[in-house]
Amino acid sequence: MCNGKGLVVLLLGVILMAVSSSGQGNSSKKVICYQGTWSVYRPGLGKFGVEDIDPFLCTHLIYAFLGIEETGQLRVIDAYLDLEDNSGRGNIKSFNALKLKNPVLKTLVAVGGWNEGSKRFSIVASDPLKRAKFVDDVVRFLQRHGFDGLDLDWEYPGQRHSLENDDRSNYITFLKELKEGLDPFGFMLTAAVGSAQFSAEISYDIPAIVPYLDFFNVMAYDLHGPWDPLVGINAPLYGSTSDTKDLTGRQQQLNVDAIIKYWLEAGAPPEKLVLGVPFYGRTFTLTSAEDNQPGSSHIGKGIAGNYSREPGVLGYNELCELMQQEEWTRKWEPKQQVPYAFRERQWVGYEDTRSLSLKAQYVMDHYLAGIMIWSLESDDFRGTCGQQKYPLLHEIHRVFFGGNTPSGLTAELKEDKIEGFRCSVEVPDGYIRDPYNCSKFYYCSGGNTNNFECPTGLNFDLNTKSCNYSGSVNC
């Protein structure tokens, strides 16, 4: 934990971000970042722990994952990592302690994920007693560990299992009861949802689930991969010319633009719609090294990364390091607005700063809620490829906020002798506004006093714990 001037500088950065959010439409965009917590076990420079998270680059952090039992109980998947019990590492405590550095950061815990499957969700969602058990477990868990909400990651209702339950309808009831259970405590409820129309319409009655979710994280990636008969890019922004040759119409649905338009037309409000983007690429082994364009034939998955160690997948950090060590040919697909690269028979369709800049601008142009990232540990978080740390995440920030802090405002930190108010051990930690000057405020931490002053024309808002425009503050 930081103290003294370090805490002051960190808190000042948060204040400026919050000021901008209240005054500029674009700076209210959400940047929602998942952390795959198993990445702490990765080797070498790929090891990623809570200490590697920059709490000022995301508006929401999501801890992935917890599991669900057929009884409706919440399941901690890696108790040694997640909890402090029995000399555990207490990862969840460290994760939520990031809010001590950035008090406006929101943290959620995700339940589910691809590996958790769909069957247990289906069983619980179909049974009112099991739903009630799950809601109760979730509320207790969020309260105990200090999360701000739940991210439900059921992949996917009505799919991947042979049960005859009416998942599409039960999902609505499940969300409704979760919302009713979480609301009294001010907890958020979000969901990671499937993307393309032919899949999403099986799982979701979109207008019916809108009232219960604070926002939707639309997983607009894994649109192409080694499961396809031909080589394709992971998350194209737009469709390709060859897509129109598919008489089923499915290929035309497998791009970000088609996905977002479907969700909007189906009834999802743009202010709740979050575009999910991948910080990894999908790899293939080409049939022939000479046939290396999108749409070429392949024989299956490509190489695994040094850190993720999963054939068919390369994190951006793994790929950029490979490109420093080996001769890769990089190309830009102009219609789909995404890059791809190849070396001999290895081929990858991925994201870079250019493609993510275009996706972030797409969010701006369509007035969407923001961007969701899967996942933090796949960015070049150490800056080992010669750029700054987190180059992909910083590029999204540049488009949304014009830089790392949303506001161009500057504020002077008053470090002169504090006159009047001083914190003491009897004063609870937190923010206190000056009783005589609404633009001045203090942050108490263990009896230490840190004092601040909002930029000209702004007052400290006790409701939002941030500087806000004077007309919006009850002074």
What residues are labeled active site? Answer: 155
**Token duo for residue 267:** 């009834």
CA angle 341, 345, 351 (to 5 degrees): 20
Rounded to whole angstroms, the Cα distance separating 421 from 432 reads 10
Cα separation, 373 vs 195, in Å, equals 15
Name the token pair of 41: 């076990």
DSSP labels for 25-38? Answer: SGGG-EEEEEEEGG
One-letter amino acid at 70 equals E
* Token reading at 157: 């209702």
Distance from chain centroid for Cα 53: 12
Using CB atoms within 10 Å of the CB of residue 35, give its burial: 0 to 12 exposed, 13 to 18 middle, 19+ buried: buried
CB-CB contact of 106 with 186 (8 Å):
no
Give the pair of three-digit tokens for residue 305: 């990364």
- Return phi, psi of residue 406, to 5°: -60, -20
Distance CA 138, CA 147 (A): 10
Task: Specify the length of the chain in residues.
Answer: 475
Q: Residue 18: what residue type?
A: A
Strands 215-218 and 273-278: parallel
Q: In angstroms, what is the C-alpha Rg of the chain?
A: 23
Which among 116, 156, 153 is positioned nearest to 138, based on CA atoms?
153
- What is d(CA 172, CA 177) in angstroms, rounded to the nearest whole number? 9
Interhelix angle 353-365/391-401, rounded to 10 degrees, is 30
DSSP state string for 400-454: HHSSSSS---------SPPPS----TTSPSEEEE-SS-TTEEEEEETTEEEEEEP
The single-letter DSSP state of residue 236 is -
Q: Report the distance separating Cα 150 and Cα 191, nearest Å.
A: 8
